[in-house]
């Protein structure tokens, strides 16, 4: 299990890889992958119980990327952990590849195909209910987008999870406030998002979704209420980690130029070097 400094370094390394991968493929969803990188880094390197050598291990925690278009960070993490060779990242979005632009369950470590928004949480409810009925203690984590909250199937699943008292289910909303057509509050207003989920019977926690320490502490405290599913509103910055991409709607699925790739690598490398210089000092 990694400590705080190592997790921050790993998140920066993953951001470099996903930027390189999107540049090489000339395709991808850059902004959302950058915003969810910290969430996935803490889940896979700190919180979740899983085994790259045995992807179908019955006791594993399950992860569903319901916002499947932001898969690039997930591909990079699965490769880094050894679910498949890192060299395969070079085939991302190329003809015949397994690493398509959405999660593909032909790849070890992927529980289900996702892409059509609103499908991940209903499937996660089924997985969590199966765990309860099989007397297993695994947990199910489902990452959703904030624009995805406009899908009716999300709210049907939310009601079902509460009805079945699925405290082994954790919903996470990547709340970066931007979707492909603009600010979420202009496209389809969500606020008060916390009150809506609470009204559906969930325990709701709002955190800084780009803060490694907050993510660690929050995931370590689950379940917050026995008999209730947990919903984490992870307030993030779209394009996080790359200054010229942060909070820029154009980076929803923009491909970086050669110059932008070089600038991003420089920024992220400097972040890593700053963290390395802190090693050996008292951790936060």
What would the pLDDT profile of 47-89 be if each residue is shown by its tens digit? 999 999 999 999 999 999 999 999 999 999 999 999 999 999 9
The pLDDT confidence band at residue 176, using thresholds 50, 70 and 90, is confident
d(CA 163, CA 147): 25
Name the least confident of 56-65, 184-193, 202-211, 265-274. 184-193
d(CA 132, CA 109): 22
Residue with structure tokens 């990188």? 37
Question: Is 122 part of a structural domain of the chain?
Answer: yes
3-state secondary structure the chain: CCCHHHHHHHHHHHHHHHHHHHHHHCCCCHHHHHHHHHHHHHHHHHHCCCCCCCCCCCCCCEEEECCCCCCHHHHHHHHHHCCCCHHHHHHCCCCCCCCCCCCCCCCCCCCCCCCCCCCHHHHHHHHHHHHHHCCCCCCEEEEEECHHHHCHHHHHHHHHHHHCCCCCEEEEEEECCEECCEEHHHHCCCCCHHHHHHHCCCEEEEEECCCHHHHHHHHHCCCCCCCCCEEEEEECCCCCCCHHHCCCHHHCCCCCCHHHHHHHHHHHHHHHHHHHHHCCCCCC
For residue 11, the number of C-alpha atoms closer than 13 Å in the C-beta half-sphere is 30
d(CA 62, CA 140): 5
174 pLDDT above the threshold of 60: yes
CA dist 149 → 12, 77, 118, 121 (Å): 28, 26, 8, 11
Question: Is 284 part of a structural domain of the chain?
Answer: no
d(CA 1, CA 96): 35
For residue 153, the number of C-alpha atoms closer than 13 Å in the C-beta half-sphere is 13
Please tell me the total count of domains within the chain.
Answer: 1
Question: Is 188 part of a structural domain of the chain?
Answer: yes
24: tokens are 């090489």
Question: Is 59 part of a structural domain of the chain?
Answer: yes
Question: Is 24 part of a structural domain of the chain?
Answer: yes
Question: Is 204 part of a structural domain of the chain?
Answer: yes
The proportion of the chain whose per-residue pLDDT surpasses 90, expressed as a percent, equals 87
Question: Is the torsion defined by CA of 11, 232, 178, 128 positive or negative?
Answer: positive
284 pLDDT above the threshold of 50: no
d(CA 243, CA 266): 11
Please give the model's pTM, rounded to 2 decimal places: 0.95
Nearest partner of 110 among 61, 64, 156, judged by Cα: 64
Question: Is 235 part of a structural domain of the chain?
Answer: yes
CATH number, domain containing residue 34: 3.40.50.970
The pLDDT confidence band at residue 92, using thresholds 50, 70 and 90, is very high
Q: Which domain holds residue 157?
A: 4-278
Q: What is the pLDDT of residues 265-277, one digit of tens each?
A: 999 999 999 999 8
């Amino acid at each position: 299990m990694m400590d705080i400094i190592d997790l921050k370094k790993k998140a920066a390394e993953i951001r470099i890889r996903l930027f390189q991968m999107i540049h090489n493929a000339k395709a991808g969803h850059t902004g959302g992958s950058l915003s969810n990188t910290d969430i996935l880094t803490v889940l896979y390197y700190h919180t979740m119980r899983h085994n790259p050598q045995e992807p179908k291990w019955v006791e594993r925690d399950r992860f569903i990327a319901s916002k499947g278009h932001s898969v690039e960070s997930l591909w990079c993490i699965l490769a880094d952990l050894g679910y498949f060779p890192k060299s395969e990242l070079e085939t991302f979005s190329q003809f015949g590849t397994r690493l398509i632009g959405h999660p593909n369950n032909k790849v070890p470590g992927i529980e289900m195909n996702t892409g059509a928004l609103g499908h991940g949480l209903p499937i996660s409810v089924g997985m969590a209910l199966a765990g309860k009925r099989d007397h297993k203690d695994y947990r199910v984590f489902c990452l959703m987008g904030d624009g995805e909250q406009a899908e009716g199937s999300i709210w049907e699943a939310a009601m079902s999870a509460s009805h079945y008292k699925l405290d082994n289910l954790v919903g996470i909303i990547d709340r970066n406030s931007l979707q492909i057509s603009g600010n979420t509050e202009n496209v389809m207003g969500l606020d008060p998002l916390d009150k809506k989920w609470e009204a559906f019977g969930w325990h709701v926690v709002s955190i800084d979704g780009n803060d490694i320490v907050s993510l660690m502490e929050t995931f370590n405290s689950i379940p917050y209420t026995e008999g209730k599913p947990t919903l984490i509103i992870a307030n993030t910055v779209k394009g996080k980690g790359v200054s010229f991409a942060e909070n820029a709607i154009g980076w929803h699925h923009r491909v970086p130029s050669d110059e932008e790739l070089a600038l991003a690598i420089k920024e992220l490398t400097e972040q890593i070097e700053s963290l390395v210089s802190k090693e050996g000092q008292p951790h936060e």
